[in-house]
Amino acid sequence: MDRRAFLQLGSVAVGTALLAKVPVVHAQHKHHHPTTQDAPNQSPTQFVAPPTRVVAPGGQIGVHTPNGKTLAWKKAGNVKVGHLIAEVVDHEFAPGLRGPCWGYNGSTPGPTIEVIEGDRLRLYVTNRLLEPTTVHWHGIILPNGMDGVSGLTQKPIMPGETFVYEFSVQEPGTYMYHPHFDEMTQIALGMTGMFIVHPKRPRGPQVDRDYALMTHEWRIDVGSKRPNPNEMTDFNVLTFNSKAFPGTEPLLVGRGERVRIRLGNLSPMEHHPIHIHGVHFKITATDGGYIPESAQWPENTVLVPVGSTRTIEFVAKEAGDWAMHCHMTHHVMMQMGHNIPNMVGVNTHRLDERMRRILPNYMSMGTAGMGGMGEMDMPVPQNSLPMRGGPGPFSYIEMGGMFTVVKVRDNVKSADINGWYQHPSNTVAGLADRVAMRADGIDVL
């Protein structure tokens, strides 16, 4: 079933129940206290606040990969030894949508590789796929024979084989890893990972939180299960660390803390302008290295091109639950909204009357926009999340896909990562008082 057919199916069940009067809002209004009814948990998944850990000289803290993990190391003399297993992964994108992906060590993206400038690494790679593979260490400067390009710098790793890569890391920064065999299939199905090299000597102001997020795009037809690696233009599931909201783990930080976010993009085709509400940040590094402080400038949206990393840093000044999302609007939708008929402004009154002779509950939808679709209890195919977002503290959050929340708290050590921000009185937008409006010279006809 394609999305156009799904839209037609949905129109039988719901429709223009979306037509609601939009109230006038004002920045100062009596605080609305969420209740259990209108503010259920963000998702069935309960997250645990990540502990900070010192991993490199000068008190440099470790990188936390939301919804992910870090590669474990063994020691063989002065060499750090790690093991990556390329395999099929039964992956949940968000509650209600899962499918067979490809990844490393049971996850997509694979575990974040975290090392220190000058480390000698020995990385074993076992192939449990049904086709050959390799691993390319994207952006790392190393001997040519360790670069991982099938046919050019090495033989492919055949199913059942284990290859070994050994090299030293000399340039600190934020890098990635992925296959260079049948890249279209293997990368599209989730075989990606972040590769972090901490400097021997800290650079720039010390950060209190360090996060790594891999952006990705998938094509999963409504009602199907397996991602389609052949898609080139019409992606309908967009993710951070292979998770779509509300399955994305929030980024918990303390007010006044300096935060670093490392963004990687190994999406098949599309760049992602990542926007964070409530902060201004500076781009401090790319996958080519650090940007001198004199060359940094403030932004609140950073474009992460395909095949690139961008590292941003900011100081969180305002407490609250701040949205972080891709600003390509269809990247925060789920499995619907692409290639559907444009019904906005269409008068379907007579059509609805005629259709109800056959289907008594029929109502056309989309004539006033698609808002409100996600929270409607309409029948959907199994294992799909069309137009789904997640519950928020005030109402349903209509964004899904490549969306998460930066939770800035005053007392971050005792903060509940699964809880919502409690706003001080008179700091929440709400219905405007008509008398106050007239006193301010505002007249709404």
Residue ranges, the chain, pLDDT below 50: 1-43, 369
Phi, psi of 407 (to 5 degrees): -100, 105
Beta strands in 29-132 (DSSP E): 54-56, 60-61, 74-76, 79-94, 97-104, 113-116, 120-127
pLDDT of residue 12: 33
pLDDT of residue 388: 64
pLDDT of residue 115: 98
CB 221 within 8 A of CB 237: no
The identity of residue 88, as a single letter, is V
**Helix, strand or coil for residue 9?**
helix
pLDDT of residue 395: 83
Nearest to 121 by CA among 197, 210, 194: 197
pLDDT of residue 341: 63
CB 308 within 8 A of CB 272: no
pLDDT of residue 358: 84
First to last CA, the chain: 45
CA–CA dist 198, 206 (Å, integer) = 12
pLDDT of residue 379: 64
Cα–Cα distances (Å) from 227 to 58, 94, 200, 222, in that order, read 43, 14, 41, 11
Q: Return mean pLDDT, the chain.
A: 85
CA dihedral 4, 6, 12, 18 (to 10 degrees): -80
CA–CA dist 192, 218 (Å, integer) = 13
- Domains parsed from the chain with CATH numbers: 65-198 (2.60.40.420)
pLDDT of residue 6: 39
CA–CA dist 275, 300 (Å, integer) = 6
Nearest to 66 by CA among 196, 278, 247, 238: 247
CA–CA dist 172, 80 (Å, integer) = 16
Phi, psi of 34 (to 5 degrees): -60, 145
CA–CA dist 110, 88 (Å, integer) = 12
